Structure 1
Amino acid sequence: MTKFFHKKNRPNQEPARIQTTLKDIERAVHEFELNLPKQVKRTVLVDKNNRIDATKLAPYLGGIPTEEYYMSTQTYEIFQEQDRLIPHYLDIVQAAVDDYVDDNNKLPLMPGCVEGRVHYDLLMQQYYLKEKPPFPLFITDDEYMLTHHI
């Protein structure tokens, strides 16, 4: 009887720390989302710094990643630690582009740029954007979502 009692009151063990790849995280986020109620989005995994709460993914990964991962709440793209600034800028610029398009019925594109590069100066001049990203972002044909690569 005492053996049973001690097991019951033993604190839960921490999940193991594991090595993961970006593909592992993407798969786990997808599986996590499949188990959410329809009205809840995968962004519940993300904190204010775009960091993914890996403890919520532990059941899908078999442990907690040793690395940090980040996700854009606007585009859902996932990034590794070395690219942690990208989701922040994707989120603020995506919101600015959406607002600009709603107000002006056109895209804020750099003049003469065929790959769809976002015109940061235009967005800043018209107060849609407060902070200029240190790298270019591009508007895709897929619902005018942004990407950091062409």
Structure 2
Amino acid sequence: MWKKKNKKAVQPSLEVKELSIQDVRKAVHAYADNKPNKVPLSVIIKQDLTIDYDLLSPYIEGIPQKTYYMSRETYEIFEEEDFELAQEIDRVQQAVDLYIQQSEDMPIIDMDPYKRISFFKLERLHLLSERPTRDFYLTDEEFMISYKKPE
């Protein structure tokens, strides 16, 4: 009779290194390209919006010295000083998605050539608990938002 040994795969611990946001982005893109189709990219995002470098270990050479955050909604990666922006993007994107679902309309300011998000419309449906500190814009990509003003 064969005995099955319970061995957990031992993963070498990752070394803290000087890694740029571009290094992290490259690793995330490689992970996204190679992950199984049914696995969402959001599995690499921890509750506090930090990135799970153990999952990225085949694609990155360590853990960055700097803290980087990743939006669960848009998958953008942010530097430590932009943590609030990452949180705001997630809140506003969720509100925009719900607004479109509920009203079958876009929550943009009427006649705005930049498709600026109307916080008033989102608040009217109780989709935002607090008003963001910056403007957001609806992009042409699957109703995603951006904090960058279109040209």
Partner of 1:135: 134
Query: Equivalent pairs: percent with the same residue?
Result: 31
* 1:64 and 2:63 matched: yes
Shift in Å, 1:15: 2.1
Q: Which amino acid aligns with 2:21?
A: L
Shift in Å, 1:112: 4.1
Q: Which amino acid aligns with 1:124?
A: E
Distance 1:46 1:92, change over 3 A: same
Q: TM-score, normalised by structure 1?
A: 0.84
Q: Which stretch of structure 1 is more off in the superposition, 109-118 or 137-146?
A: 109-118
Partner of 1:101: 100
Shift in Å, 1:12: 6.7
Quick check: 1:72–1:87 contact (8 Å CA) kept in 2?
yes
Matches within 5 A, 1:1-150: 14-150=13-149
Distance 1:13 1:142, change over 3 A: closer
In terms of fraction of residues, the more helix-rich structure is 1
Quick check: 1:49–1:88 contact (8 Å CA) kept in 2?
no
Q: Which amino acid aligns with 1:136?
A: D
> How much is the aligned-residue C-alpha RMSD, in angstroms?
1.8
Gaps of 5+ in 2: 1-9
> Per-residue displacement from partner, 1:75-100 (whole Å, max 9, x unpaired)?
11111111111221111111111111
Q: Would you say how many aligned residue pairs link Structure 1 and Structure 2?
A: 140
